Amino acid sequence: MFLKGKTALVTGSTSGIGLAYAKALAVEGANIVINGFGDADAIEAERKALEETSGAKAVYSDADLTKPERIEEMMKLAAQEFGGVDILINNAGTQHVDPIEDFPVDKWDLIIALNLTSSFHTVRHAVPYMKERRWGRIIATASAHSKAASPFKTAYVTAKHGLAGFTKTIALELAEHGITANAISPGYVWTSLVENQIPDTMKARGMSREDVINKVLLEGQPTKQFVTPEQVAALALYLCRDEAAQITGANLSIDGGWTAE
State which residue, 66 or 180, has the beta carbon closest to ligand NAD: 66
Q: Does 188 bind ligand NAD (CB under 6 A)?
A: yes
64 binds ligand NAD (CB under 6 A): yes
Q: Measured from the CB of residue 249, what is the shortest distance to ligand NAD in angstroms? A: 19
Per CB under 6 A, 162 contacts ligand NAD: no
Instruction: Tell me if residue 8 falls in helix, strand or coil.
Output: strand
Calculate ∠ Cα 156-151-104, nearest 5°. Answer: 55
Least Å distance between CB 57 and ligand NAD? 20
Interface with ligand NAD (CB under 6 A), residue total: 29
Nearer to ligand NAD, 177 or 198 (CB): 198
Binding mask 192-211 vs ligand NAD (x if CB under 6 A, - otherwise)? xxx-----------------
Partnered with residue 61 across adjacent β-strands are 35
Provide the mask over 32-51, with x wherever binding to ligand NAD is found by CB under 6 A and - wherever it is not.
---xxxx-------------
> At its nearest, how many Å lie between ligand NAD and the CB of residue 177?
26
Say which amino acid occupies 66. Answer: T
Question: Based on CB atoms, which residue is closest to ligand NAD, 136 or 187?
Answer: 187
Residue ranges in 168-187 that form contacts with ligand NAD under rule CB under 6 A: 186
Residue 75 binds to ligand NAD (criterion: CB under 6 A): no
Please tell me whether residue 55 adopts helix, strand or coil conformation.
coil
With both helix axes pointing from N to C terminus, report the angle between 68-82 and 118-133 in degrees, rounded to the nearest 10. 30
Verify whether residue 188 is a known catalytic residue.
Answer: no
Q: Does 119 bind ligand NAD (CB under 6 A)?
A: no
Q: Give the number of other CB atoms < 10 A from CB of residue 101.
A: 5
Q: Using alpha carbons, list the distances in angstroms from residue 134 to 101, 154, 174, 179.
A: 47, 38, 10, 7
The answer to whether residue 66 forms part of the interface with ligand NAD (CB under 6 A) is yes
Backbone angles phi, psi at 52, to 5 degrees: -65, -40
3-state secondary structure of 60: strand
Is 37:12 a contact under the CB 8 Å cutoff? Answer: no
Q: Where in the chain does DSSP place strands (E)? A: 7-10, 31-35, 58-61, 87-90, 136-141, 179-186, 251-254
Candidate residues 6, 7, 10, 14; the one interacting with ligand NAD per rule CB under 6 A:
14
Active site residues: 156
Give the interface with ligand NAD as residue ranges (CB under 6 A): 12-18, 35-38, 64-66, 91-94, 114-115, 141, 143, 186, 188-189, 191-194
